[in-house]
Amino acid sequence: EVQLQESGPGLVKPSQSLSLTCSVTGYSITSNYWGWIRKFPGNKMEWMGYISYSGSTSYNPSLKSRISITRDTSKNQFFLQLNSVTTEDTATYYCARSGPDPYYSSWGQGTLVTVSS
């Protein structure tokens, strides 16, 4: 059974970069597609992007200038970096798995990231 677990700082200062890791067990990230989704206070959900089995990426156009998703296949981990964060980036961040059609059948438990000085 695939399991995903997010990790990273829970507090980030404005203008800095947010960096999260998703550790995957039970399934190789060299198969399928691996995404990041966030849920804001107030419950709005936003798809951020994914990295594919081959390492190609796709990003939400609204984030394209600030976001990077990378991976380490030797550790079976993938990563989110979001630059120049503001308080509006405060959210619970989820990593998740999909097929080529990006609907998500497996999710991590989520990690709350607060952007505050």
Partner 1 sequence: DIVLTQSPALAVSLGQRATISCRASQSVSISRYNLMHWYQQKPGQQPKLLIYRASNLASGIPARFSGSGSGTDFTLTINPVQADDIATYYCQQSRESPTFGAGTKLELK
**Binding residues vs partner 1 (CB under 8 A):** 43-47, 60-61, 94, 101-105, 107-110
Query: Which of residues 46 and 72 has its CB atom nearest to partner 1 in the complex?
Result: 46
Query: Which of residues 43 and 117 has its CB atom nearest to partner 1 in the complex?
Result: 43
Is there a contact between 108 and 38 (Cβ–Cβ < 8 Å)? no
Tell which phi-psi region holds residue 8, choosing left (phi > 0), alpha (psi between -120 and 50) or beta: left
Q: Write down the least CB distance from residue 43 to partner 1, Å.
A: 5
Q: Write down the least CB distance from residue 17 to partner 1, Å.
A: 23
Cα separation, 108 vs 84, whole angstroms: 25
Query: Which of residues 44 and 116 has its CB atom nearest to partner 1 in the complex?
Result: 44
Q: Write down the least CB distance from residue 16 to partner 1, Å.
A: 26
Give the strand pairing for 18-25 and 77-82: antiparallel
Query: Which of residues 16 and 102 has its CB atom nearest to partner 1 in the complex?
Result: 102
Q: Write down the least CB distance from residue 59 to partner 1, Å.
A: 9
Cα separation, 62 vs 54, whole angstroms: 24
Secondary structure of residue 54 in the 3-state scheme: coil
